[in-house]
Amino acid sequence: MSKPSIQELERIASQVRRDIVRMVHAVNSGHPGGSLGCTDFFVALYFSQMNRKEGFDMDGLNEDIFFLSNGHISPVFYSVLARAGYFEVAELSTFRKLDSRLQGHPATEEGLPGIRIASGSLGQGLSVANGAAQAKKLNGEDNLVYILMGDGELEEGQVWEAAMYAAHHKIDNLIATVDFNGQQIDGPTEEVMSLGDLRGKWEAFGWEVMESNGNDMAEINAGIEKAKSLAGNGKPVMNLMKTEMGFGVDFMVGTHKWHGVAPNVEQLADALGQLEETLGDY
Amino acid sequence: MTKFTYTEKQDTRSGFGAGLAELGRTNPNVVALCADLVGSLKMQEFIKENPERFFQVGIAEANMMGIAAGLTIGGKVPFTGTFANFSTGRVYDQIRQSIAYSEKNVKICASHAGLTLGEDGATHQILEDVGMMKMLPNMTVINPCDYNQTKAATIAIAEHHGPVYLRFGRPKMPIFTPADQKFEIGKALKLIEGTDVTIFATGHLVWEAIEAEAALAEQGISAEVINIHTIKPLDVEAILESAAKTGCVVTAEEHQMNGGLGDSVAQTLALNNPTPLEMVAVNDQFGESGTPAQLMKKYGIDAENIIKAVHRVMKRK
């Protein structure tokens, strides 16, 4: 299967952003800001960069697998999984509703294809990714494990336990990405809890560190390709990906205010007017 | 019925180590993790024979639980090893989200549980772990009574798909169950038949219950002793059957009264067949430094206290 062009990926991303704002509007809850900011990354990963098998099985043998640690950006995860064929796009309309497989935060209990771990309580995903990457090594696979974390999430101590472990055990089939948008619920990270020199911190923990732009489809793809080229060299790879929260909807961009707030009817219409319907709304 | 005697004492943690070593030889998917307590958990034999299947995590228990969850994705059966305190309270949210809610096939193996940890004192003597673990949906909770049973339980949980909390301890205790036993999760074991009172015991208190039964027999009291090695799922049928027969019940465990085996038995009886019940357990206190025997006496969880509880409960029939 040939890889989609940058233009095709951008068209998918536009539809995913429509899905996100429609999903959170429908239940007047959920997290649009981080979801919109990471849309381009998810689309690049699932439609171009990951080596995926058809269908879904929990073990994910002989394919690249992805974990979402900051589970609150579930809208983008669900939309991309559905658009990538893991389940019917129509199911997006059940998001956050009773008896849905699309829980507020991702969960495995309802058996939603594409989800391998529950996340929402922050700071746990990198540990899980460590284990999954080591299982791949034990199984003799050369596939990669991807994980996305929020930047505010790095305030959790467990992340640094996992960082130390990955370097010590030379888990070099692991590509971690930080959604570096500089925002968290209570405000800018620099005000809530400054992250300091993130590159220096990860380098000091023994990681191969790179930076990339997370809101330009061509640059994201180049970034992930660079991360892949850095894998397999005895060190885990950290991709510090600069994004803007709310990217793609002008009144949501660059502020923590849309972290966990849904647009009202007028705001939804405004947002949808900025996002072309390319693949058909669910 | 057999009279229970012993010729040898051994720690239950060594039973875990022996079981894990056997699994290393028989099940290629079994992997082990440890948070800097390899010697205390008796994991050396497994590590020596399967170095590529062992992961030293360092003093980072939260990370260990997440790694274990991740290792199941790819078909591994991870056994984590650290003290019971650091296997539960310290990592409750990691177990809750990444293991129990995510239905991961992780075996949480917890040593040095309870007061019998001894001299290290209350910081390490966790008495709330069973309660925390049994509250989690999807979690199985097992507390075997001696070396042989701990070894058998370790081997059995590898065949069970789903998260398990396996609790054992530090002190050398009598070995009185058979070396060749097959461990059946959730199946209570009637050790001594009796008619006047039932003693449901778990873990180290099973031996205390056996000693109590002998003393009670001399007083003309016929006590039934049942080993509840699996606290969840509880063998409800065995509990109701014995309680109906004897008409009064004592529970015995090395745990807080809140949240322990006594709690589970009381709930079962209250919902199905209210029966007089006394609990031998620690009563809302932290422990302290001392020898295991001193602590069991001071905190009221030895044979003598079981006997007293039997006398109390029989008056309530």
Nearest chain A alpha carbon to B52: A138
Does the beta carbon of A250 lie under 8 angstroms from any beta carbon of chain B? no
pLDDT tens, position by position, A5-49:
999 999 999 999 999 999 999 999 999 999 999 999 999 999 999
Residue of A nearest to B76 (CA): A135
Could you tell me which chain A residue has the CA closest to the CA of B95? A124
- Cβ pair B76:A60 closer than 8 A: no
Residue A251 predicted with pLDDT over 70: yes
**Domains plus CATH for chain B?**
10-174 (3.40.50.970), 189-315 (3.40.50.920)
Q: Are B67 and A128 a contacting pair at CB < 8 A?
A: yes
Q: Is the Cβ pair A127, B52 closer than 8 Å? A: no
Task: Decide: pTM greater than 0.90.
Answer: yes
Give B2's contacts (C-beta < 8 A, 6+ positions apart).
none
Residue of A53, A68, A127 to mutate, testing the B interface (most B Cβ within 10 Å of its Cβ): A127
Residue B101 touches partner A, C-beta closer than 8 Å: yes
Which CATH architecture does the domain made up of A6-273 adopt? 3-Layer(aba) Sandwich (3.40)
Alpha helices (H) in chain A, listed in sequence order: 6-27, 32-37, 39-44, 74-83, 125-138, 157-168, 189-192, 198-204, 217-230, 265-273
Relative orientation angle of helices A6-27 and A217-230, to the nearest 10 degrees: 100
On average, the pLDDT of chain B sits at: 97
pLDDT computed for residue A1 by the predictor:
57
pLDDT tens, residue by residue, A74-123: 999 999 999 999 999 999 999 999 999 999 999 999 999 999 999 999 99
Report which secondary-structure segment, H or E, holds B277.
strand B277-282
Query: How far is A254 from A185, CA to CA, in rounded Å?
Result: 13
Contact flag B70-A161 (C-beta cutoff 8 Å) = no
- Rounded Cα distance between B123 and B171, Å, is 17
Reading across the β-sheet that carries B164-167, which strands appear in turn? B54-56, B30-34, B77-83, B107-111, B164-167, B140-142, B230-232
The residue ranges of every structural domain in chain A are: 6-273
| Span A198-243, pLDDT tens digits | 999 999 999 999 999 999 999 999 999 999 999 999 999 999 999 9
Tell me the sheet residues that pair with B141.
B165, B232
Q: Is the ipTM of this complex over 0.95?
A: yes
Specify whether B61 is catalytic: yes
Tell me which of A124, A144, A205 to substitute to probe the interface with B (most B C-beta atoms closer than 10 Å).
Answer: A124
Across all residues in chain A, what is the average pLDDT? Answer: 97
Helix (H) or strand (E) holding B63: helix B61-72
Tell which B residues from 20 to 79 touch A, by Cβ distance under 8 Å. Answer: 31, 52-53, 55, 57-58, 60, 62-76, 78
The pLDDT tens digits of the residues spanning B165-199 come to 999 999 999 999 999 999 999 999 999 999 999 99
